[in-house]
Every structure is written in C-alpha cells, then in structure tokens.
Amino acid sequence: MNLVSKLPHVGTTIFTVMSQLAAKHGAVNLGQGFPDFEGPQALRDALTEAMASGANQYAPMPGLLALREQVAAKALRTYGRAVDADAEVTITSGGTEALFAALAAVVSPGDEVILLDPCYDCYDPAVRLQGGVPVHVPLEPRDFSVDWDRVKAALTPRTRMILVNSPHNPTGAVLTAADLQALADLIRDTGILVLSDEVYEHLTFDGDPHQSVLRHPELAARSFVIGSFGKTFHCTGWKVGSCIAPAALTAEFRKVHQYLTFCTFHPAQVALAKVLAEQPDHVSSLPGFFQAKRDRFRALLADSRFELLPVKGAYFQVAAFDRIREGNDRAFCEWLVKEAGVAAIPVSAFCEHPLPRPLIRFCFAKEEATLQAAAARLVGL
C-alpha cells in the first residue's frame, strides 16, 4: 500500500508512552496529567441517575441547554461577561475536540497559526491536518512569559489565528491583564482570530484571578474560549468540554462539531448541569485546593536536587534536573521511570526546538500518599 501519512513526524503521544512505561516499571505516575482522586460524589450519583432515568439517546447537537446555561452563568459570575447560552456556547467531547473544531472551522490550507512554545501537544498536528502552517514562537525561557514583540515579528498576511493557553500546560505560567491588552493591540485592525485554551481556568494560585479573554471585550469578540469539565470536576475520562465564541464564530464551529462528533455523551451533560447548579462553590474551592497540593509537593521536594520553577496555575511542576544527571529531558525521564520509579514528562515534547535548559514536568494533582511516595523516590537522587 502506498500510504502517504498526513502526520509523518507524529508518533504515539508522550502521555501514552510515559503512562505505559510507568505501568511497566511499577512507577508512581506523575507524568500524564490526571488526578488520582475523585470529583464530587454528587456528580457520579447524578450520572448514574441520568442513565437510569433515560438520558441515553443523542443529546442536542450544540449541547444540553441546561449545561450551556450553566457555562454562560459561570462566565458571567467569574468574568463579568454576558454570554448567550443558545448562540455562543457549544458542549464538546473534551477540550481536545473543541480545539480541533475551532481550528478546522477557520483555518484553510496555507493559513498560519501562531503557537507559543512550549505548547500542548495536540495543537501543532491539529493545525497541520487543516493544511495550516504552525508557526512556533518561543516563550521567554526565563519565566515562560510571552514576548509580544517576537509574536509581532512572526505575523504575516497569512496569519489566521493566535493560540494562547493560560494557565499554561506544561509550565504553570499565566497571562496577565497586560498580556491580554498587548494581544488586543497586536491584532486590532487585522482579521486574526484567537483560540484561547483555558481548560485550567479555575486553577490559579496566590490570589491572582484568571485572566480570561472573556474579560476583554475586544478579544472576546474574536475568540474561541475552550473549557474542560475534566479539569474542573476531576473527571478527565468523561471528556466533556466547552467552547464559548461569538455567534458568527460559533455557527462555523458547529458546522464542524456536528460532523465530527455530532454531540457529546448525554448523561454526563445532565450530571454536570445539575452539579454546577447545585454546587457553585465547587469551582471556587479549586484554587485553594490545588494551591495546597502545589505547596505540599514543593515542600516534599525542597531537599531534593531538582530545581523547582515557579508555578502560578494549572497542576504541573516544571523542574530542572542538571544537578542530578546530564543529558536531555527524554533520556532523563526514561532513566527516572526505570531507575527511580517515578514517571514525568519531558518538556521538549511540547516544543519544536529544544529549550536552552532541559526540563521535566511533574503532575501534582495527586493524593497526599502519592505525592509522598513520589517524593521518597525523588529526594535521594
């Protein structure tokens, strides 16, 4: 067979590779990002109830209205933005589907999409599958902030979209209000759209509120804003996400969504709508909950030879390991999982070009016992 790959440089994702290695070596898995604890019991009860009471056929194509209304209410409560649940919110099969559908909706062959490296691994292939051209612009290696002059220098008449992610996977950096203003200034008077991956929107620390593009009217008017209930309710395996975008963008987005998946797992939508309505405090408890995990993990590793970089959001700790071993981050992760029994993710998996200093990522969305077991293996290295 003369099969021409559409993604010749893509292998199996690093998350799958590292989770398989972790299982093989009986390692503590701080690699792939997922919590090892459960979300609210009421959510699982509501899911069972939804299935028992017959929510087992197709959900409405744009998503259950009750859930879209909850997403809109949360956007108003959290970011002060009035969103039309009917025309501007779509429920998707995870943040991943939402990212793909937004790109497929607006990126044509030859269009350039700016990605800020390191960036989440699905962005680049999703752009390429549309015939688009990913343009990787590095974040500042010092603190992973955006150098907007560098972004400006990368713009061309073919630039269709800029993809931003805050809180940031893998580095835990966050965008500031000044960043949003700089982005708005940059794309004013252009046709450039924004794809804002905000799946960690409720995981920000040290009292800093999340700077959603929804807070910025000019940006909100040309953005797709991606959310994930998997992150917000500790149920990554449910794969339910959302996309908020102005009506005209949402209309194009739904043209893709309706043929990509048509709709998303119905009972989960019933359950999420119910728990969002009944427990609005769940979301507001997340920053404190995850900040405590961040602080605990950092304290447990304080006596290790890892250098822990600052974490302002999301549930990842990036670390330098050059005091422990020489070599690149992939080789280090392979050594770490086999010899120390802890799985991590090499940050180079998120980059087109290697970083000036190799780094690895640990996920700290774990029970106390898991963090302790990992630390016991990491501290002596």
Q: Give the residues lining the site for ligand PMP (CB under 6 A).
A: 33, 94-96, 120, 165, 169, 197, 199, 228, 230, 236, 239, 241
32 binds, among ligand PMP, ligand GLN, none (CB under 5 to 8 A by kind): ligand GLN
How many Å apart are CA 286 and CA 284, to the nearest integer? 6
Q: Closest CB to ligand PMP among 33 and 62?
A: 33
Instruction: Identify residues 195-214 at the interface with ligand GLN (CB under 6 A).
Output: none
Among 169, 223, 232, 250, binds ligand GLN (CB under 6 A): 169
Taking a C-beta distance cutoff of 8 angstroms, is the pair 22, 337 a contact?
Answer: yes
How many Å apart are CA 45 and CA 47, to the nearest integer? 5
Question: Residue 29 CB, nearest distance to ligand PMP (Å)?
Answer: 14
Q: Closest CB to ligand GLN among 106 and 314?
A: 314
286: Cβ contacts below 8 Å, ≥ 6 apart? 202, 203, 232
266-278 and 65-79 are packed helices; what angle lies between their axes, rounded to 10 degrees? 40
95 binds, among ligand GLN, ligand PMP, none (CB under 5 to 8 A by kind): ligand PMP
Among 21, 28, 29, 32, binds ligand GLN (CB under 6 A): 32
Question: Residue 96 CB, nearest distance to ligand PMP (Å)?
Answer: 3
Q: Closest CB to ligand GLN among 21 and 249?
A: 21
Question: Residue 75 CB, nearest distance to ligand GLN (Å)?
Answer: 22
41-52 and 266-278 are packed helices; what angle lies between their axes, rounded to 10 degrees? 130
Q: Closest CB to ligand PMP among 290 and 375?
A: 290
15 binds, among ligand GLN, ligand PMP, none (CB under 5 to 8 A by kind): ligand GLN
Q: Closest CB to ligand GLN among 12 and 57?
A: 12
The residue sitting closest to ligand PMP, measured at its beta carbon, is: 94
Among 17, 27, 33, 173, binds ligand GLN (CB under 6 A): 33
Question: Residue 269 CB, nearest distance to ligand PMP (Å)?
Answer: 14
165 binds, among ligand PMP, ligand GLN, none (CB under 5 to 8 A by kind): ligand PMP
How many Å apart are CA 376 and CA 381, to the nearest integer? 10
Q: 264, 104, 231, 249: which is closest to 165 by C-alpha?
A: 231
Question: Residue 371 CB, nearest distance to ligand GLN (Å)?
Answer: 17
15 binds ligand GLN (CB under 6 A): yes
Question: Residue 237 CB, nearest distance to ligand GLN (Å)?
Answer: 10
Could you list the residues that contact ligand GLN (CB under 6 A)? 13, 15, 32-33, 169
